[in-house]
Structure 1
Amino acid sequence: MRDYAKELPEHREKFIGENDLFLEIFHGNHGSQRAGRPPLLFVHGAFTGSWMWSKYIPHFMAAGWDSYCINLRGHYKSRSVDFTRVGFEDYLEDIQVAIAEIVDESGSPPIVIGFSMGGILSQKLAESVEIAGLVLIDSSICKQVHHEVPYQGLAPQAHGLVVPAPARGEQVSADEIFEDIAFQRKYLSIESGKAFSAFSFHFGAEGISVDGSRISCRSLVISAVGNEDDDRRGRAAARHIGGEYLGLAGTTHTGLLVGQRYHEAVSRIMDWLARLQV
């Protein structure tokens, strides 16, 4: 199995905050660095960690972007915690700790790039915390978007105080080869049931309310599109926060980060970042 996390370029690592959150820091290539660029903060989704960004990071480093990858409490190499006591608000606090660390180190708030659960966390945070921009990659949707384009035929799954890691028993997906899935299978871990019960409609949640009018930074929404509802939902999410939209047909949720077409999302983010800095 190819372990992309072990192929990452040389970088710094540190533990921050009272929960010893594991933060990976990748400095952009000096020759490509432009003065005044804000750093990037990557926020992973449920069950995962900073390892999920392993294919993305080298591209942003090569383009001169300083990148920070946070691990929420209990995830990857962050200190183990009792997941039965961890909720959505705790994860929001973790991201604020990371932003404070970045501001202290770099002198400017970051552009936040959130995936899945990390996306709904980042949206909620952007209501009240200053950030330089917001990118959502197949983000969990807020209550308002679900009201506009609800999931059809949901049979909410029961869960306990923790949610077991996805088995990923399949060999391939629409945009992932065996190596991509095996890589995820190696690292996927349990998740907080309390957090899921707050944001996941698939687990019977009422959803997280996001006031789009309070998100003042420029934003980009990227969605994996398998059907018309996926596209409608992604467009609604972008409208709700006043952002740009890209729907990638034939891609999957995790494939956008570690699949064979991940570079399409990276290219669009790079283009958006370039225009953000004009």
Structure 2
Amino acid sequence: MRDYAKERPEHTEKYIGENDLFLEIFHGRGDSRQSVRPPLLFVHGAFTGSWMWSKYIPHFISAGWNSYCINLRGHYKSRSADFTKILFEDYLEDIRLVISEIVEECGTPPIVIGFSMGGILSQKLAESVGIAGLVLIDSSICREVHAEVPYRDLALRMPGLVVPAPARDEQISIDETFEDIAFQRKYLSMESAKAFGAFSFHFGAEGISVEGERITCPSLVICAVNDESDDHRGRATARHIGGEYLGLRGTTHTGLLVGQRYSEAVSRIIDWLARFDG
């Protein structure tokens, strides 16, 4: 199995806060525009950690972007935590802490790039925390978007004390190879049922309300699209926060980060980031 996490560029690591959040910092390579650019903060989704960005990071480093990768409490190399007690709000507090750390180091707030659960966390955070920009990659949707384009025929799965890691028993997907899936299977871990129960409509949640008009930074929404409802939800999310939209047909949720077409999303993000070179 190819372990993409071990192929990432050299970087620095540190633990911050009382929960010993594991933060990885990648320094952009020699771009003269670094001094005017805000840094990037990558926020992972459920069950994962900073390792999920392993294919993305080299592209942003090569393009000269300083990048921070958070690990929420209990994830990857952050200190172990009791997943039976962790709340959605606890994860919000983790991201706030890291943004404060970045502002102290860099003198400017970051552009936040959130995937899946990290996307709904980032949306909620952007209501009240000043950030330079927001990129959502196949984000979990907010209550308002679900009201507009609801999931149909949900087979609700009520969480227990924790949500076990996805098994990923399949060998391939439409945009992931055997190696792509095996890489994820190596690192996937359990998740907080209470956090899931707050935002996941598949777990019977009422959803997280996001006041889109309070999100005033530039934003970009990228979605995996396999049917019209996927596209409608993605467009509704972009409208709700006043952002640009890209739907990538024939891709999967995790494939957008680690699959064979991940570079299409990366290219769009890098093009969108050009606005910050001013």
Deviations 1:117-173 (A, max 9, x none): 000000000000000000000000000000000001001102112000000000000
State the TM-score, normalizing by the size of structure 2.
0.99
| 1:228-243 matches, cutoff 5 A | 228-243=228-243
State the TM-score, normalizing by the size of structure 1.
0.99
Partner AA of 1:160 in structure 2: G
SS at match of 1:42: strand
Deviations 1:47-103 (A, max 9, x none): 000000000000000000000000000000000011101010000000001101101
Structure 1 gaps, min length 5: none
Structure 2 gaps, min length 5: none
Could you tell me how far apart the structure 2 residues matched to 1:48 and 1:226 are?
Answer: 23
Could you tell me how far apart the structure 1 residues matched to 2:162 and 2:254 are?
Answer: 21
Aligned to 1:138: 138
Contact between 2:38 and 2:276, CA under 8 Å: does it hold in 1?
no
Contact between 2:180 and 2:259, CA under 8 Å: does it hold in 1?
yes
Aligned to 1:70: 70
Aligned to 2:34: 34
Contact between 1:33 and 1:63, CA under 8 Å: does it hold in 2?
no
Contact between 1:27 and 1:65, CA under 8 Å: does it hold in 2?
yes
1:33 Cα deviation from its structure 2 partner: 4.5
Aligned to 1:274: 274
Aligned to 2:202: 202
Aligned to 1:111: 111
1:32 Cα deviation from its structure 2 partner: 5.3
Aligned to 1:215: 215
Q: What's the Cα RMSD here?
A: 0.8
Partner AA of 1:42 in structure 2: F
Could you tell me how far apart the structure 1 residues matched to 2:131 and 2:158 are?
Answer: 36
Contact between 2:37 and 2:276, CA under 8 Å: does it hold in 1?
no
Could you tell me how far apart the structure 1 residues matched to 2:107 and 2:248 are?
Answer: 35
Aligned to 2:21: 21
| 1:173-192 matches, cutoff 5 A | 173-192=173-192
